[in-house]
A = this chain, B = another copy of it.
Amino acid sequence: MEYKPNIQDVAKLANVSIATVSRVINNQGGVRKETEERILKAINELGYIRNAAARTMKRKETNTIGVIVPDIKNPFFPLVMAGIEQKAREKQYFTILSSTNESPIVEKEIVKNFIERGVDGVIITTANENGDHLKLLQEQGIPIVAVDRSIKSFEVDTVLVDNVKGAYQAVQHLILQGHEKIAIICGPQTTTPGRDRFLGYKKALENYNIPLDERYVIQGDFGEQSGYLATQKLFALDDKPTAIFSSNNLMTIGCVKALEELNWKLGSEVSFIGFDDVDIATFLNPKLSVVSRPMYALGEIAFQLLHERICFKENLPKRKYLLSPELKIRQSCRLVKTLF
């Protein structure tokens, strides 16, 4: 049973023209009830399923959006994806997902493939915020929504998390607890999240008149290993910090590992807040305080924006959403112990 019936077969079996069949499968009305039933019956009998390729050729739309993420193994993205899919399904859109492994080259290939397939729009967390390689999409008039990382070289709808604010709140909290020697494990300053989280850190210090101490600023690369190393460096300091702010989830993990090995007591000897919730946060003792991002909402809004853009194209100003992260205070940050 390998034969794929087409609209012709259905028409023949139902004794109508293919135009009528088309009307029925597209619910366009204007077909007598008996005729419709006859057609439906034929469709069922044959197991007819309409051919999307042929349909797309006429319609110039696929009801499909493409999603591009840099690393599907990072738990952040599946959660965003879940939000996107949910909203997309509601609007009868389908979602195709590809992961670039942070490679702009792969990303470009994927973009090209998405265009070939005629996706109606793209949601992307790009591997390269410059974004020149995404111009293809723009040239084809395919709407784009940038999620979590913005795109520099042209204007697109964007939904970001307020990284500055999240970092600011975390550091402010530490300051209000009496900390002054607050270290930051930075993300790459070539990425917006990396820069912005550092910015929030600086702003908080500034607002509370705490001078920035370069020794407490350690560069990391968002990888676990760099968080580990950074923590070791901080521990080696004569004048150790009393609190650490880590700029992302993986570095948090590295940091916690180092803390444990160094026997540098979390919560008591050194307070800690990390950016991004991590699975382990509530399993550690003390439980980790974190800045948590609304991943699901990020996905939902991204689809919302994309959908509007697909419907109204250019008759819409470019929009930038900035979602607020949530500071979840648990047990890893405590009032500073003053020594006098």
Contacts and interface: CB of A to CB of B under 8 A. Distances in A.
Interface in A89-131: 89, 94-99, 106, 112-113, 115-118
Interface of A: 1-2, 4, 47, 49-57, 62, 72-73, 75, 77-79, 81-82, 85, 89, 94-99, 106, 112-113, 115-118, 136, 138-141, 253, 256-257, 260, 278-280, 282-285
A90 to B, nearest CB: 12
Q: How many copies of the polypeptide does the oligomer hold?
A: 2
Contacts of A260: 283
A272 to B, nearest CB: 14
B96 A52 contact: no
Nearest to A79: B73
Contacts of A4: 140-141
B98 A94 contact: yes
Nearest to A62: B53
B279 A50 contact: no
A51 B116 contact: yes
Contacts of A94: 98, 113
A141 B49 contact: no
Given A2-B140, A72-B82, 15 more contacts: A1-B139, A4-B141, A47-B139, A47-B140, A49-B136, A52-B116, A53-B57, A72-B78, A82-B99, A94-B98, A95-B97, A253-B279, A256-B283, A257-B283, A285-B285
Given A52-B118, A94-B98, A115-B49, A81 B72 contact: yes
Contacts of A140: 2, 4, 47, 49
